[in-house]
Every structure is written in C-alpha cells, then in structure tokens.
Amino acid sequence: MGTNFGDGKGNVTAYFGYLQSDPVYSGDRDFGSCQLEATQSVNDGPIDGTDCTGSGNSNRFTPLGTTLNGVYTAAKGGQLGVVGNQLLPWPAAGQVPPAFFNSQPFITIARQDQRYTAGFMAHDAITDYLQPYMDFSFMNDKSHTAVAPAALFENSNTQDPLTNYQTNCSNPLLSAQQQAIIGCTAALIAADAANPGSATANIEIGRRNVEGGPRNANFEHTNYRAVLGTKGYFADAWNYDAYASYYYTTFFNSNTGFLNFQAINNALLVTGTAANPTCLSGPPCVPYNIWNQGA
C-alpha cells in the first residue's frame, strides 16, 4: 500500500509479506520413494538395472573378535541381525529394525518454511537541494528440515581404535545365544563378571536409532535495515547524498536427534542384571539395549 503527498512530490509505500511452506518428504514422490542401487544380471557384467533398496546401517552386527585384559583376538564372523533376543544370519526374516532401512520417507526434499517480511519507503522533494528519504525493512524466517534417524554407523566410531563397537561379555542384556555367537566363551564371561569391562567383544554394528526419531535441523534468521538520508543538487554543478544506515542480523541453528560416540560406547558396557542394568561408566549414562527386539 502507498500514497503520494505534497502535490505529488512525496511518496510513502509500505509492504507486508507472509510465506508458509509445508514440507515435502522424498518418500511421497515416486522418483524419491527409495534408494536406488545399480544391478548386474551377470557377475562383472554391465550395469543393466536398478533395485529399490536401503541402508545396511539398520540392524546388522558382525562379530570381529574379543579382547581380554587388553589383548585382542581377531575372529571374523558373519553378518547377523537381531530377531527377538537372538542374533540370526543377516538378512533374517522378522528383523526389527529391518535388514535394510529406507531413509527416504524421513528426508525432506522441500523444507518446511515460515517467513515474514515487512517494511516501508518514503521520500519527499521539498526543494531541489533538500530531498529527504528513509526506508526500513524487516525479515524473519524459520525453516525446519529432517533426515533419517541416526545410527551406530558401521566403521565410523571415532572413539574406538578399530572404528567399531565394544560390549562386555557379561552384559546382562545379552542372551546366552548372543554371548556365544559374538565370541564370548564361558571363561570370558566369568572373567568379565569378576572384573566388568575386562573381557569385551568387538563388533561392527549398523543399528538404526528408529526409537529416537529423525535427525532435525532448525534454522531461524532475522534481520532488519534502516536508512535515513537526504539528497539534492545546488549551484548548477553540485549534488550530494548524505545518509546513515544500520543493519542487524541474527542466525540461530539447532540440531537434534544425533548420537554421541562416547555416550554409545559407555552405554554398551553394562553390568548389573537384565531387570536393573547399569553402565560401567556410571552416571550420566543409560544402558543401550539393542540386543532385544523392541527394547
């Protein structure tokens, strides 16, 4: 909106804008509903198709050996998945989370956004040599985006020398079948029960944190700008433009739903009982039970 004044020599114009955009998730579009993987109908042959697949960082455990009092014994194992309280050959029917995780339903390809803009501009040509003007503008924008839940990503643990994960052999959240299949013998279990944390199994883990929901990023950006000045011309050969301006901007970003490697490592080393488990590291720590489906 706006109006002229002073016999048309002056004008003031003001504006207001509002934008609201809902998120669009990749899984809601046929071209983004899953991750595509190139396929070959003949081994070592040309790529001749695609499969709709997902990430293996979902429910996959690969035992790699054990450590007793700092001495590591490698023992490469096969890939396994949790079903109930068992570790079965991966991919196994009935895995929760599934053998492959489809991230696309969680990923926004168009972000949620809310934006306000407002401002005004004014000027007046009082005389040739005195033409004051001013303007002011404001903007506030809030945006949210999400991606798939975090995970214990395979070969990514920066806090572990082997980039994997350790759980102690007497961890009360492990079933007897799980203890055996990750390489924890009766002797190792007994040694760890006597000195918790002394006997551990080294495991390559890809476990999606479906219980924790997506990873979120929130952004808020606010700015405003003000200008006040005057201009004009005089003495046939001179003109001027004098003004003062002020600009201010703020930016805020928060990220939630991410996992901390040190906290994961602490939460996988557990003592006590299945009914009352406690972390070896002590508080603040809560045992992470990824060994029992639905726990």
Task: List the chain domain ranges.
Answer: 2-279
Residue with tokens 């760890």: 192
The predicted pLDDT at position 176 comes to 96
pLDDT in tens, 186-222: 999 999 999 999 999 999 999 999 999 999 999 999 9
The yes-or-no verdict on residue 161 having pLDDT over 90 is no
| Amino acid identity, position 110 | A
Return the H-helix or E-strand segment holding 182. Answer: none
Closest CA to 63 of 178, 153, 151: 178
pTM: 0.78
- How does DSSP assign 15-31, residue by residue? EEEEEEE--EEGGGSGG
Secondary structure percentages of the chain, helix, strand, coil, to 5: 10, 50, 40
The predicted pLDDT at position 225 comes to 98
Mean local confidence (pLDDT), 163-175: 96
Closest CA to 13 of 121, 117, 118: 121
The predicted pLDDT at position 267 comes to 97
pLDDT in tens, 45-101: 898 888 888 888 999 999 999 999 988 888 877 999 999 999 999 999 989 999 999
The predicted pLDDT at position 253 comes to 97
